[in-house]
Amino acid sequence: MPSRADIPILQIDAFADAPFTGNPAAVCLPGTEPPAGWMQQVAAELNLSETAFAWPSGDSFGLRWFTPVAEVDLCGHATLATAHALWGTGRLAKGEPARFTTRSGELTASQAGEAIQLDFPAEPGEACPVGGLAGALGSEIVWCGKNRMDFMVQLPSAEAVRRCAPDLPRLAKLETRGVIVTAGADDDRFDFISRFFCPALGIDEDPVTGSAHCCLAPFWAERLGRDTLVGFQASKRGGFVRCTLAGDRVLLGGRAVTIFSGMMSVPPPGA
């Protein structure tokens, strides 16, 4: 079993071109899969939107993601951060794809110049009634849909997305991971804008959410008539996600920056 000094931990800004932008994730690299309860305790202690745990598993890596309060089925920015960590620490050779076994099936990450490209499942939303979402979001809703994880709502304009100030306690009572709000672009640097609220998982607003773009990419590809798009997530930190719809998969591209690295001082039970 690994010793205390054998468990590196890093904090990495994902979907970021510079430090202190994009979405921060912690990445823990144990030698074997730790107990779920310990992983949840670590995630609560670090209190970032996601903490990823990756360990060698055959010719790939096991990968699980935890918010401060719960495990999730899919996370883009922490997967991008994990791949960046594996290459940065020499666990994977430069240019070698990162393969992950997860609760959402096999996911891969590859290097594309200075960027990283994730191969994720498309998660299109199906139209559904608005219900109480308009009141909870405090905005007119143009379209409402839902996939296996989230609600997604189209607002009238990019400015409406930026101004959106939801009733977070009401959103926390929804039986979904979170709510994506989106609109068409008002800036030639991107094709659509979004924000993501998930108070039920202890995150009022996530800075840049890769997995949300698994729903956003098919939605906007259909409406804009092309499969390659750039999304901008308009949180306080903000970040761009490059999206390519490829059948039932979505390729998500972005960069990552390591902020710090160290060693875990509390090993998993039995380590």
Note the pLDDT tens digit of each residue in 193-248: 999 999 999 999 999 999 999 999 999 999 999 999 999 999 999 999 999 999 99
Cα(26)–Cα(41) distance, rounded to whole angstroms? 13
Annotation: CATH topology of 126-247: Diaminopimelate Epimerase; Chain A, domain 1 (3.10.310)
**Is there a shared CATH topology between the 4-112+254-263 domain and the 126-247 domain?**
yes
pLDDT at 4 over 60: no
Q: How many CA atoms lie within 13 A of 70 on its CB side?
A: 13
* Residue whose pair of structure tokens reads 């468990």 in the numeric block: 7
Q: How confident is the model at residue 1 (pLDDT cuts 50, 70, 90)?
A: very low
Q: Which of the residues 50, 140, 175, 222 is marked catalytic?
A: 50
Distance linking the first and last C-alpha atoms of the chain: 5
- CB of 98 within 8 A of CB of 110? yes
Other residues' Cβ atoms within 10 Å of the Cβ of residue 75: 31
Pick the CATH number of 4-112+254-263 from 3.40.50.1110, 3.20.20.140, 3.10.310.10, 3.30.365.10: 3.10.310.10
- Write the Ramachandran bin of 247: left for phi over 0, alpha for psi from -120 to 50, otherwise beta: left
Report in angstroms the alpha-carbon separations of 270 from 114, 122, 263.
39, 38, 17
pLDDT at 262 over 70: yes
Tell me the residue ranges of DSSP E strands in the chain.
Answer: 8-14, 23-28, 51-57, 60-66, 71-72, 98-102, 105-112, 115-121, 126-127, 143-146, 150-154, 178-184, 192-198, 203-206, 228-233, 239-246, 249-254, 256-263
Domain boundaries, the chain: 4-112+254-263, 126-247
Q: What is the pLDDT of residues 78-96, one digit of tens each?
A: 999 999 999 999 999 999 9
pLDDT recorded at residue 144:
98
Return d(Cα 81, Cα 221) in angstroms, integer: 26
Catalytic residue check, 175: no
Give the contacts of 226 (CB within 8 A, at least 6 positions apart).
none
